[in-house]
Structure 1
Amino acid sequence: MKRKTYIAISALAVIIVSVIMGGSFYMLGYSLDPDPNRRDIDSALQVLYGRAPFMKAWTDSVRGNGLLRDTFITSVDGRRMHAVYMRGDSACGRTAIVVHGYKDCHVTFLYIGRMYQERMGYNILLPDLNAHGLSDGESIQMGWKDRKDVIRWAEVAEEMFRDSTGKSQIVIHGVSMGAATTMCVSGENLPEYIKCFVEDCGYTSVWDEFRNELHDEFSLPSFPLMYTADMLCRMKYGWGFTEASPVSQVRKCRRPMMFIHGDKDTFVPTWMVYRLYEAKPGNKVLWVAPGTEHARACLDHPEEYAGRVGAFIASAVVSGQTSSASEK
């Protein structure tokens, strides 16, 4: 009898462990496997036009006239990384690096680039993150390892766009996962020419974001899948959900940062921006866009968005100072 009980318990334990590990592998693949159609730029353009129909004429014009150009670099570990760039008419060494969101690419946030190029006269550079768009890569990195690639793109932008006196002023502006990437960049030891950051609806950490999605999409608790998937991520990709923490990076940031979030965001819950804002020392600005869901602040409030971002950057870049302010 005892032997049968032992066998039954052991079999049940094996089944439970198998289910948990199977669920963990599924969760990791579901979250970090790239879109198999990520290189389909025509489809990405249709996504852009669906979000922002006003962008079609502009995009066709700048692409048709060769103003929006491709560039490729090789990362330190041998990956081929892609970006597009466009020169501003009166940039004078000022450049905005615009970082796209999760399973998007440079195309789908061209409207942010247009804002900088048209409204502010900036050069623009829009990279494809690892395993997105035309960049190489086997897995999505949720902004964590991407921070090193964006710093490399900033070096490229500084070389390409420095003014006649050899000076550059670079703003890094990211949306969603691109915002998380931007915040992860902000905590590093950076060159002087990176002046400030704009993060739009970024998450506090990968752990917090995945936990939120596990609950909202699958109605599952954090334990045990979050813990086993985190372990698998560390083993397979060399980073963990808690390690990939924009809020920890923001605590180390000593340059001006603007925080933007929609007050109706449930994909990256609005509460996250308050924690991020509180963690950031020194110069910072917060704008919570009314009635706005995830990654739609610029589309819902285009004039106010451009005005607020422009005012922040003018203060942060030109004078080197910006006051702390929180606005709804």
Structure 2
Amino acid sequence: MEAAMDPWLIGCLAVVGSLLVLAVAGLVLIDVGFRPDRVAPDTLPSDLGMAYASVELTAVNGKRLAAWYIPAPDGVRRPAPALAVLHGWGSNSAQLLPVVAPLHRAGYALLMVDSRCHGGSDRDTFASMPRFAEDLAAAVDWLRTEPEIDRDRIAILGHSLGASASLLLASRRSDLVGVVAISAFADPETTMRRFMERVRVPYRPIGWLVNRYVEWRIGWRFRDIAPRNTIRRAQAPVLLLHGETDRVVPVSDAYAIHANRRTDEDVSLIVYTRCDHDSVDRIEAAAPHILSFLARVTGGGPRPETHVREAEPAA
């Protein structure tokens, strides 16, 4: 007759089995989380008085990217300066229409692209900061082939994950004249850790293992794509904008990115009081700061102070 299995061993096996089931379930949920529910645009450029054309770009893996091309206003000399614009996680190009409308009125052409798994673009296996950067690169490449665009005066603008992707792209190519990064996070490791703290997932060992899995899934180590590190490799002037009361990406992230710039880098930071993560685009004071920066990088205007604090104007 076979000996009965030790109850202690049975308990250990049950615990290990439960942990494995939870781990597999967790990884499945992570993969699902990498593909956010697509949100259709609730506003069109024409709603803000901007004529536009819907265009399709091609991502590096052949996926279709939906984009809005907004030519420079009539009367602006061609070829015109331009911006490639990228939204944040779970959003679409309509998110940034309020902030780019004043830039268009000032004479800039715009190409606003929906990243994969967002807006009107194709779904993909997952979305990530490197893939956001690839999709933004596709937008820049498209602009460089457009006869009406001055290929030597192309800047990029992004919000949240799109801002962090903008900094990653600026560290990879030298044909950009400027970067406007709104509410960028400093480090994916820290950002993921903050999220897990909010949902009460212990960082060690579970959170740490989750982050290592995410690195494997996206094919990049967090430290290699962290904006606090890519800022040191930026090949164009950078304007960082951040809300002081941002509860999604705390303003300390903006200070961390700015503090880690090279001493010879052209990186400026503007912090808006009484402004959170998603209200930067509604601040009237932001447009003059962005326009001043763009005028300088596209036309040789004066270099601003490296750090300015501004109060949010009344609504």
- The Cα offsets for residues 208-253 of structure 1, whole Å up to 9 and x where unpaired, read as 222112212x123322333332343345443454544222211111
Instruction: Say whether the 8 Å CA contact 2:46–2:52 is kept in structure 1.
Output: no
AA aligned to 1:33 is R
Q: Using the TM superposition, give the Cα deviation of residue 320 of structure 1 relative to its aligned residue in structure 2, in angstroms.
A: 7.3
Indicate whether 1:175 and 2:138 are aligned: no
- The Cα offsets for residues 11-32 of structure 1, whole Å up to 9 and x where unpaired, read as 22222232234234324423x1
Q: How does 1:272-287 map to 2 (within 5 A)?
A: 272-281=253-262, 282-287=265-270
Q: Which runs of 4+ in 1 moved over 4 A?
A: 234-237, 240-243
Provide closer, same or farther for how the CA distance between residues 291 and 168 of structure 1 changes in structure 2, counting only shifts above 3 A.
same
Instruction: Say whether the 8 Å CA contact 2:52–2:69 is kept in structure 1.
Output: yes
Q: How does 1:158-173 map to 2 (within 5 A)?
A: 158-162=144-148, 167-173=151-157
In 1: Cα distance, 2:32 partner to 2:211 partner? 12
In 1: Cα distance, 2:187 partner to 2:31 partner? 16
Q: Which moved more, 1:194-203 or 1:241-250?
A: 241-250
In 1: Cα distance, 2:49 partner to 2:273 partner? 33
Match of 2:242 among 246, 261, 265: 261
Residue 146 of structure 2: SS of its match in structure 1?
A: helix
Q: Runs of 5+ in structure 1 lacking a partner?
A: 49-55
TM-score (norm 2): 0.86
Provide closer, same or farther for how the CA distance between residues 60 and 314 of structure 1 changes in structure 2, counting only shifts above 3 A.
closer
Provide closer, same or farther for how the CA distance between residues 91 and 83 of structure 1 changes in structure 2, counting only shifts above 3 A.
farther
Match of 2:275 among 284, 289, 292: 292
In 2: Cα distance, 1:76 partner to 1:146 partner? 11
Match of 2:207 among 226, 233, 242: 226
Residue 144 of structure 1: SS of its match in structure 2?
A: helix
In 1: Cα distance, 2:287 partner to 2:126 partner? 29
In 2: Cα distance, 1:143 partner to 1:6 partner? 44
Q: Using the TM superposition, give the Cα deviation of residue 57 of structure 1 relative to its aligned residue in structure 2, in angstroms.
A: 9.4
In 1: Cα distance, 2:286 partner to 2:77 partner? 20
The RMSD of aligned alpha carbons is 2.4
AA aligned to 1:305 is A
Q: How does 1:176-255 map to 2 (within 5 A)?
A: 176-191=160-175, 194-216=176-198, 218-255=199-236
In the other structure, the counterpart of 2:299 is 318
Q: Using the TM superposition, give the Cα deviation of residue 86 of structure 1 relative to its aligned residue in structure 2, in angstroms.
A: 1.0
Q: Using the TM superposition, give the Cα deviation of residue 202 of structure 1 relative to its aligned residue in structure 2, in angstroms.
A: 0.8
In the other structure, the counterpart of 2:98 is 111
In 1: Cα distance, 2:274 partner to 2:136 partner? 31
Q: Runs of 5+ in structure 2 lacking a partner?
A: 310-315
In the other structure, the counterpart of 2:35 is 33
Indicate whether 1:6 and 2:13 are aligned: no
Match of 2:119 among 133, 138, 147: 133
In 2: Cα distance, 1:15 partner to 1:88 partner? 59
Provide closer, same or farther for how the CA distance between residues 139 and 107 of structure 1 changes in structure 2, counting only shifts above 3 A.
farther
Q: Which moved more, 1:77-86 or 1:10-19?
A: 10-19
Q: Using the TM superposition, give the Cα deviation of residue 142 of structure 1 relative to its aligned residue in structure 2, in angstroms.
A: 3.2
In 2: Cα distance, 1:73 partner to 1:142 partner? 18
Q: Using the TM superposition, give the Cα deviation of residue 263 of structure 1 relative to its aligned residue in structure 2, in angstroms.
A: 0.5
In 1: Cα distance, 2:45 partner to 2:114 partner? 23
**Matched-pair identity in %:** 18
In the other structure, the counterpart of 2:137 is 151
Aligned residues: 301
- The Cα offsets for residues 133-154 of structure 1, whole Å up to 9 and x where unpaired, read as 1211324533222212212211
Q: Using the TM superposition, give the Cα deviation of residue 312 of structure 1 relative to its aligned residue in structure 2, in angstroms.
A: 1.5
In 2: Cα distance, 1:255 partner to 1:100 partner? 20
AA aligned to 2:177 is K
Indicate whether 1:59 and 2:61 are aligned: no
In the other structure, the counterpart of 1:52 is none
